[in-house]
Amino acid sequence: MTAPRLEIDLEKIHHNAHTLVERLNKRGISVWGVTKAALGLPAIARTLLAAGVEGLADSRIENIQTMRRATISAPMALIRAPMLSQTELVVTNADTSLNTELDVISELSKAAYAAGRNHSVLLMVELGDLREGIMPADLEEHVRQTLRLPNIKLKGIGSNLACRCGVAPDETNMRELSSLADAIDKTFGPVISIVSGGNSSNLGWALGSTNTGRINNLRLGEAILLGCEPLHRQPIEGLFTDAITLVAEVIEAKVKPSQPWGEIAETAFGVAPLPANRGPIFQSILAIGHMDTDPEGLTAPPGIDILGASSDHVIVGCGKTRPKIGDEITFGLNYSALVRAMGSSLVAKKVLARPLR
């Protein structure tokens, strides 16, 4: 079979999405299924919808176009602030976008008017992670200006944490977001219907808090696809962590010394750690490398250790399991390994198709 390849188990993704939707819906929180790590792969998008997500969300308009071309008509949100150069594509393909710049919202308004459509907007608020967001003190003015724009519907506010600086969602920053929603409604009448608290890193807070306040939406990608929470990379109870795996093929299998010889300088990817001297070991080379994935983000099966990697090779040490030439080895992936493999045209995507429910 084609290697390297991602194997995507739709049944497990359905289970993960459905479990999270149920747990969060009980707390009055809806879920948008984030497809960006899957490049908007229609099979995954349909699975998320069948599992009960309220809408789909992606950071790239191109991925949203992929899903539209596959005739998926569900509500879709662009969750990276739109480029000024893409406002027409945004209003014609996405129902909603997450915004922080009035110049962009103003162009979205013009594009929506020209297209004879309405476009919904969430204003993102900066709560400390220092990626996207309007400073809280400036939010009211941004709301005032947004409400004036034709063909733009202000739907609510949102925040995004734990992406640039690793700031964790907690009672304090989530209460601040709720208070901002209250303050806006007090000033402008009831305008805030969606308060989108964040991404997979919000799950610990959302499922543990005794008061989720006005937060009524989360945008979830990693937790659904990898069954893992991003703050401490712990598996989430009751979810599959192997819904997506990466399969690579063995192209060399030999006994070699465990340590290199000769004068040692840098490799193409910087200084390689000197391997411990364990005497001769059984080492195999897999036809996959930095071009295809993040080798550091792979988890090898029991009995196999990842020893090193270059652009097109991953070297593994094997104990009792001694793969032969042509054998395949299946790895687990973290988010970094997943997004790189998904984005590589040299990694096949094999969807293990089972019926949607």
Nearer to ligand PLP, 59 or 96 (CB): 59
Number of residues that bind ligand PLP (CB under 6 A): 14
The phi and psi torsions of 80 (rounded to 5 degrees) equal -100, 140
Among this protein's residues, is 36 annotated catalytic? yes
* Sequence-separated (6 or more) residues with CB below 8 Å from residue 171: 205, 209, 211
DSSP assignment string, 287-323: S--TTTS-GGGEEPPTTEEEEEE-SS-EEEEESS--P
Nearer to ligand PLP, 122 or 316 (CB): 122
Of positions 13, 90, 220, 236, contacts ligand PLP by CB under 6 A: 220
150-179 positions binding ligand PLP, by CB under 6 A: 160
Nearer to ligand PLP, 37 or 246 (CB): 37
Task: Decide: 221 and 36 in contact? Cβ < 8 Å.
Answer: yes
Least spacing, CB of residue 302 vs ligand PLP, in Å: 28
Task: Decide: 44 and 21 in contact? Cβ < 8 Å.
Answer: no
Stretch that binds ligand PLP, among 61-69, 183-191, 216-224, 319-327 (CB under 6 A): 216-224
Nearer to ligand PLP, 63 or 284 (CB): 63
With tokens 């594509």, the residue in question is: 89
304-333 positions binding ligand PLP, by CB under 6 A: none
Residue 43: count other Cβ atoms within 10 Å of its Cβ.
Answer: 16
Q: How far is it, in rounded angstroms, from Cα 30 to Cα 16?
A: 15
- Two tokens at 10? 């739709």
Q: H or E stretch including 256? A: strand 244-257
Least spacing, CB of residue 79 vs ligand PLP, in Å: 4
Of positions 6, 17, 20, 34, contacts ligand PLP by CB under 6 A: 34
93-152 positions binding ligand PLP, by CB under 6 A: none
Stretch that binds ligand PLP, among 143-151, 209-217, 222-230, 338-346 (CB under 6 A): 222-230
Least spacing, CB of residue 19 vs ligand PLP, in Å: 15
Site string for ligand PLP, 35-64 (x = CB under 6 A): -x----------------------x-----
Stretch that binds ligand PLP, among 218-226, 234-242, 265-273, 312-320 (CB under 6 A): 218-226
Q: Does 199 bind ligand PLP (CB under 6 A)?
A: yes
Least spacing, CB of residue 173 vs ligand PLP, in Å: 15
Residue nearest to ligand PLP (CB): 221
- Two tokens at 60? 């790239």
How many alpha carbons fall within 13 Å on the CB side of residue 221?
A: 21
Q: How far is it, in rounded angstroms, from Cα 195 to Cα 230?
A: 21
Q: Which of 36, 153, 256, 320 is catalytic?
A: 36
Stretch that binds ligand PLP, among 88-96, 213-221, 279-287, 296-304 (CB under 6 A): 213-221
The residue type found at 292 is D
Q: Does 31 bind ligand PLP (CB under 6 A)?
A: no
Q: Does 200 bind ligand PLP (CB under 6 A)?
A: yes
* Bridge partner residues of 306 (DSSP): 316
Closest CA to 18 of 357, 352, 334, 354: 357
Nearer to ligand PLP, 67 or 286 (CB): 67
Summarize the chain as % helix, strand, coil (round to 5).
Answer: 35, 25, 40
DSSP conformational letter for 129: S
Of positions 79, 157, 286, 339, contacts ligand PLP by CB under 6 A: 79
Of positions 221, 227, 289, 297, contacts ligand PLP by CB under 6 A: 221
| 337-349 residues labelled b (16+ CB within 10 A) or e (exposed) | bbbbbbebeebeb
Which sequence positions are flagged as catalytic?
Answer: 36
| Binding site residues, ligand PLP, CB under 6 A | 34, 36, 59, 79-80, 160, 199-200, 219-223, 230
